[in-house]
Amino acid sequence: MRTVSLFATWDPKPDFVLGSKDIEGKLTYLGSKVWRNPYVKIVDKEVREPGPTEVLLEVKACGICGSDVHMYQTDKDGYIFYPGLTAFPSTLGHEFSGKVVKAGEKAINKRTNKKYEVGEAVCSEEMMWCSYCRPCADGYPNHCENLHEIGFSCDGAYAKYIVVDARYLWSIEGFRKLYGEDKMWLLGSLVEPTSVAYHAVITRGGGIIPGENVVILGAGPVGAAACAVLRRAGANAVILSEPSEARRKMALAMGATHVIDPKSENVADAVLKITNGHGAKLILEATGLPSVVWKDVERIIWEGRAVNTTVVVVARADDKIPLTGEVLQVRRANVVGAQGHSGHGVFPNVISCISSGMDVSHMITKKIKLDEVEQNLKMLQTDRDEVKITLTNFD
């Protein structure tokens, strides 16, 4: 089968120190410190047989994530932007849905508690947690000590077929009746980024009480999905800041109640005006530019009347946050980080929300075929109008 795979040179920066879980020349948890001169090409690979607990899927839809773009995008010295777990060469693609082609005897469907049947529609987590390390045993699979990630450190779904262990799969058959088969596959590919947003604002951010205000900085897929999740959770004002007009319009369709163009108005001033000086219970940093937006974040907290504001940092970036402790102390605010989407009931809850009408498909702005992946990875490095570009033709 044809796959879109990424290659890069292992060339550590002078300040890089090989970590205890890194593998010299192959795998690192600090991608932007090591990998240089990435390139993408179409590679033919064999379709392997699934093991006893595994499932062979025919991929039906796979979205391009900002992480994919940042694994291909480089700084002036040729180092990749993406700062996290990576092992190259690897087939890209981790936001996907697919149809069961073959299942191992112990590949159990969580929907039926029986072996997966051929034809079942599923989506997948991309965090391949081990289940036996201390963080996994304590209930924190997103921080697994033996973590692998589909499309980052092992082969992903920019391919017609992929084999995945059943533990990471979730049925999306509940989408079929409400949305029809074609849209079911598209929505299935959006469960993963929507789950990242859900985990950030509900699990890590602590959620909201209906009627509270929220601010979302950045209308990429995670920020856009957060609009849908928080509006469904009962937020009064869902205020989104985003420089792209196209993305602002999309966010309104996703659930934002107010949108701000940070190029033409001050974000903190606008938020305080919209909320009549109250501020926000939750602020989501989804721009990947915390050093740029943090001044506004702290003004919203400091000048707003709300106490106990939680700021959730979800965007991955090798960037420093210019934090003022006094703001957090006096306003009883806190800052938390969010990684991943596994555990805590996140995937099944997102699937339930979509099954009952939370349509997040507005974020899909373009559909492409396998041969068009590379050019779109390049285009997304500068284009701010496209949101989710989805691969639907794998031939």
Whether 67 is catalytic: yes
Nearest to 363 by CA among 5, 71, 66, 58: 66
**pLDDT value at residue 313:** 97
pLDDT < 50: residue spans in the chain: none
Beta bridge partners of 80: 74
Residue of 5, 20, 32, 67 with catalytic role: 67
Looking up tokens 């947690």 gives 129
CB–CB of 83/32 below 8 Å?
A: yes
Nearest to 182 by CA among 375, 390, 358: 390
In three-state secondary structure terms, 34 is: coil
**pLDDT value at residue 105:** 97
How does strand 238-241 pair with strand 214-217?
Answer: parallel
Whether 264 is catalytic: no
**pLDDT value at residue 201:** 98
**pLDDT value at residue 385:** 86
**pLDDT value at residue 317:** 82
Residue of 32, 70, 189, 342 with catalytic role: 70
Peptide bond into 89 cis (omega under 30): yes
**pLDDT value at residue 207:** 96
**pLDDT value at residue 384:** 82
In three-state secondary structure terms, 177 is: helix
Beta bridge partners of 110: none
CB–CB of 128/168 below 8 Å?
A: yes
In three-state secondary structure terms, 80 is: strand
Predicted TM-score of the model (pTM): 0.95
**pLDDT value at residue 316:** 85
* Domains of the chain by start residue, with CATH: 2-195+341-393 (3.90.180.10), 206-337 (3.40.50.720)
Question: What amino acid occupies position 205?
Answer: G
Sequence-separated (6 or more) residues with CB below 8 Å from residue 147: 85, 127, 128, 129, 130
